[in-house]
Structure 1
Amino acid sequence: MQRYNRAAIVLHWAIAALLAFQISVGWALEDLGARGFALYQLHKSVGMTVLALTLARIAVRYWKPRPAKLEGGWQGALASGVHVGLYAFMLGAPLTGWALVSTAKVKVPTLIFGTIPLPHLPLPAAAHGLAENGHGLLAWLGIALVALHVAGALRHHLLMRDGLIWRMVPGRSTALLIALPALILVGFVAGRAILPGPQAAPAPLAPEPANAANAAEPADIAAAVTIAEAANAAAPAANAAEAAAQEPLAPPPAWTIQPGGRIGFSVGNDGETISGSFARWTARIVMDPDHPDSADIAVTIDMASASVGDAYKDGMLPGDEFFGVAAHPTATFIARGAQATGPSTYRARGTLTLKGVSKPQTIRFTLSGKDGAGTDATRQVSGSATIARASFGVGNGDSSGGLGPQVALTFAFTAKRQ
C-alpha cells in the first residue's frame, strides 16, 4: 500500500499534538485574566508554529502528492471535505488569532517564544470583533473536524480493516501506532498541566526594599531629593530656632544625585506582584539639611524607560492603557519644603504630574551619612510613596483588571553637596 512520505508523517503528528495543546490552553485563557498573560504569549507562539508547519505540510503535499483515495461515494466525499476543513482550520485559526491581537485596543507585542518579533497586521480596529468571533468559531469547528477525522480513521482500521491508518505510521510499527496518537493526548495534558492553579488571596502589597541603587517613582525621586537635604536637619529644633534668631540664613545648598540611584515600583496582580524600575530620570534638589522647609525639589522621569523585565509587558507599558508615552513622555514630581517626622525621617508633600494629570502626592524618606566640609557632604537617601494609579489613568483597560489599586514606589540614591 502506498504511504505518505516521512516529512508528511512527521508534520501530521506534530501539528496534531500542537493543536491538542492549543485547544486545552485556549479553553482556559478567558477565565484566567491577568494571571494568564504568560500563557497567552505561549498560545500565540504555538499558534504561529502551527501556521508555519501547516504551510510546510501544504508544500510537501504538492511536492510529494498524497496516496490515492481508497473509498468513493459520499463517504469519500465526506472524508475529502473533512480534510479541506482541517486545512482551513489550521490556517484560519492562527490567522484570526494574529488579526485579533493586531486589532486589539491594547497593543501587546508578539515575540515568538520570547525571541522573534512578529509585526501586527495592518488591519483596522473595526475588524477586531470579526477576528475575535471568527477565532472562537474556528476553534469549535476545528474540534468537530478533528473528531470526524479520528472517527473516520478508527472506522477504516477497526471496522473496514483496510489498513488505511498504516499510511501515517512508518514501517507498519505497532509501537508507533500507539505512540504517535498518544502524542495528541500528551499535548492536551501538557496544556492543562501548565495552567495556573487556583488564585490565592492577594497578599498585602509591601514596598520594595530600598538599596543603594534604588530611587523612587516621580514622587519618590522628589522625596529622595528632599531627603538628601533634610539630612543635615538632624540638629535639635531648639538650636535651629536659636541660630535663625541670631543670624540670617544663607541660601540653601544644591545637591547632585550620584550615579547608581534607582526608582522602583511594584503593584499587585491577581495575587502576584509585578515589580519594575525606571532607567532614566533626573532630579534638581536645593535644600538646607538644617532647615527642611527650604527644600525645592523637581524630579523628571522618562516614562519610556520603564521596565518590568518582561519583553511582552514592557511593550505594553508605553501604550495608552498604562503610561501613554506618545502624548506624555515624562512624569514630574515637584515639592516645596519638607517636614521632619522623627530622627532622620522626613515627609515631603508635593505635586505629581503623570499622564497629563496633576495630583497632590506625599513621599516619606530617611537620611543617613555624615556631614563633610563643603562638597564632601553626602547623604544616602531612601524612601517610598504609595500612588493611586486610577487617579492618573494608569491601567485603564481590559488587561488591567487584576492590578491592585495602589502602586508602591521606592527609591534609593546618594546625594552630594555641590
Structure 2
Amino acid sequence: MQRYSRAAIFLHWAIAALLAFQIAVGWALEDLGSHGFFLYQWHKSVGMLILALTIARIAVRYWKPRPAKLEGGWQGALASAVHVGLYAFMLGAPLTGWALVSTAKVTVPTLLFGILPLPHLPLPAASHALAENGHGLLAWLGIALFLLHVAGALRHHVMMGDGLIWRMIPGRSPILLVGLPALIAVGFLAGRAILPAPQSATPAPVAVEEADNAVEPEANVAEATNVAAPADNAAANAGEAVAEEPAGPPPAWTVQPGGRIGFSVSNDGDTISGSFAKWTAAIVMDPDHPDSADIKVTIDMASASVGDAYKDGMLPGDEFFGTAAHPTATFVAKGAEATGPDSYRARGTLTLKGVSKPQSIRFTLSGKDATRKITGSATIARAPFGLGNGDSSNGLAPQVAVTFAFTAKRKD
C-alpha cells in the first residue's frame, strides 16, 4: 500500500496532538478568569504553531505524491469535504484568534512561547465581534470535523479492513500504529494537566473586602490603624506642643541611588507584585519639626514592571496606567505629623492617571545626622483613579499596597 511521505506523516500527527491540546485548554479558558492568563498565552502560541505547521502540510501535500483515494461516490466526496473543512479550520481558527487578540479592547501583547513577539494585525476595532464569533464557531466545527475524520479512518481500517491507517504509519510498525494515535490522547491530557486547580472560596477575603469598601474612597487604611491607637497619637501631639521652635529653615534631602517604590495587589487569591524603575523625590523636612515638611514624589509610570513580559505589556494601556496620556504620577504633601518615635504621617494629594485625590502615607526614619533611611507604605483605592477598569481586572482587589524604601542625605 502506498504511504504518505514521512514529512506528511510527521505533520499529520503533530497537528493532531496540538489540536487535542487546544481543545482541552480552550474549553476551560472562559471559566478561569485571571487564572487563565498564562493559558491564554499558551493557547495563542500553540495556535500560531498549528498555523505554521498547516501551511507546511499544504506545501508538502503538493510537493510529495499522495496515495490515491480508496473510495468513490458520495462516501469519497464526504471524505474529501471533511479534509477540505479540516484545512479551513486549521487555517481559520488561528487567524480568527489572531484577529480577536489584535482588535481586543484591552491590548495584551503576545510572545510566542515567551520568546517571539507576535505583532497585532492592522484591523479595525469594529471587527472584534466578528472575529470572536468566528473563532468560537470554527472551534466547534473543527471538533465535529475532527471526530468525523477519526470515525472515517476507523471505518476503513477496522470495518472495511483496507488498512487505511497504515498509510499514515511509517514502516508498517505495529508499535507506531498504537503510539502515533496515542499522541492525540497525550495532547488532550497535557492540556488538562496544565489547567490551574479550582479556587475554593473562603469567607475571610470577603470580610476583608467588605471592610475595605466601608472606608471612604479618599481614606487610607493606614489612617484607620492610627485611629486604633489614640493614646500614642495623644502622646505624640503632646510632644509637638512642647517642641522648640526650629532654629532655621528645614533642611533639604537628596535621595541616594538604590531606593525602591513597590506595589502589590491581590488577584483572585494570588498576589501581583511589581516596582517602578524610574522616580524622583524632592524632600524638605526637619525631623524634629515634621510640620515643616515639603514632599514631592514623581513616578515614571512607564517604568512599572511586575517581572512578566505579558503583564508588563498591559500596564501602559488605558485599562491600567494610560501612560500615553498620563506618563507620570505625583504625590505632593505640605507638612507631616509625628505618630510615634521616628514615625510620621503625611497627608497630601496623589495625582494619577489625570485624577487628583487626597492620599496619606506613613513612614519612619532611622539613622542620625546627615544620613537617614526612610521606609514607608500607603494603601491606594484603585477605583477613583480608574486603575484596572476592564474585563481582565475583575479579580483584582480594590486596594493596592504601596511600599517605599530609600536613603537620603542632607544637603549642606
Decide: shared fold, TM above 0.5. Answer: yes
**Amino acid in the other structure paired with 2:244:** A
Shift of 1:204: 5.9
Shift of 1:62: 1.1
What CA deviation, in whole Å up to 9, does each residue of 1:276-327 have, x standing for no partner? 0000000110111110000000110000000000000000000000000000
Shift of 1:240: 7.9
Shift of 1:243: 3.0
- Whole-Å Cα distance in 2 between the matches of residues 414 and 62 of structure 1? 69
Change in 2 beyond 3 A, CA 1:61/1:239: closer
Change in 2 beyond 3 A, CA 1:238/1:391: closer
Which residue is equivalent to 2:16?
16
Pair 1:284 & 2:306 matched: no
Shift of 1:242: 5.6
Aligned residues between the structures: 383
Which residue is equivalent to 2:396?
403
- Whole-Å Cα distance in 2 between the matches of residues 240 and 5 of structure 1? 92
* Aligned-residue CA RMSD (Å): 1.8
Pair 1:336 & 2:334 matched: yes
Higher RCO, 1 vs 2 (CA within 8 Å, ≥6 residues apart): 1
- Equivalent residues in 2 for 1:322-401 (5 A)? 322-371=320-369, 377-401=370-394
Normalised to the residue count of structure 1, the TM-score between the two structures is 0.89
- Whole-Å Cα distance in 2 between the matches of residues 278 and 240 of structure 1? 38
**Amino acid in the other structure paired with 1:34:** S
Shift of 1:344: 1.4
- Whole-Å Cα distance in 1 between the matches of residues 250 and 102 of structure 2? 54
- Equivalent residues in 2 for 1:44-63 (5 A)? 44-63=44-63
Percent sequence identity is: 83
SS at match of 2:30: helix
- Whole-Å Cα distance in 2 between the matches of residues 346 and 289 of structure 1? 9
**Amino acid in the other structure paired with 1:133:** N
Shift of 1:367: 1.1
SS at match of 1:404: coil
**Amino acid in the other structure paired with 2:30:** E
Uncovered stretches (5+) of structure 1, i.e. residues with no partner: 206-218, 220-234, 372-376
Shift of 1:163: 1.3
Shift of 1:249: 3.4
Maintained 8 Å contact 2:237/2:338: no
SS at match of 1:158: helix
Shift of 1:201: 4.0
**Amino acid in the other structure paired with 2:404:** F
Uncovered stretches (5+) of structure 2, i.e. residues with no partner: 207-219, 221-235
Maintained 8 Å contact 1:294/1:338: yes
Shift of 1:370: 1.6
Normalised to the residue count of structure 2, the TM-score between the two structures is 0.90
Pair 1:243 & 2:241 matched: no
Which residue is equivalent to 1:186?
186
- Whole-Å Cα distance in 2 between the matches of residues 204 and 251 of structure 1? 47
Which residue is equivalent to 1:271?
269
Change in 2 beyond 3 A, CA 1:242/1:280: closer
- Whole-Å Cα distance in 2 between the matches of residues 366 and 251 of structure 1? 21
**Amino acid in the other structure paired with 1:411:** F
Change in 2 beyond 3 A, CA 1:201/1:260: farther
Which residue is equivalent to 2:122?
122
Change in 2 beyond 3 A, CA 1:339/1:305: same
Which residue is equivalent to 1:416?
409
**Amino acid in the other structure paired with 1:253:** P
- Whole-Å Cα distance in 2 between the matches of residues 250 and 87 of structure 1? 81
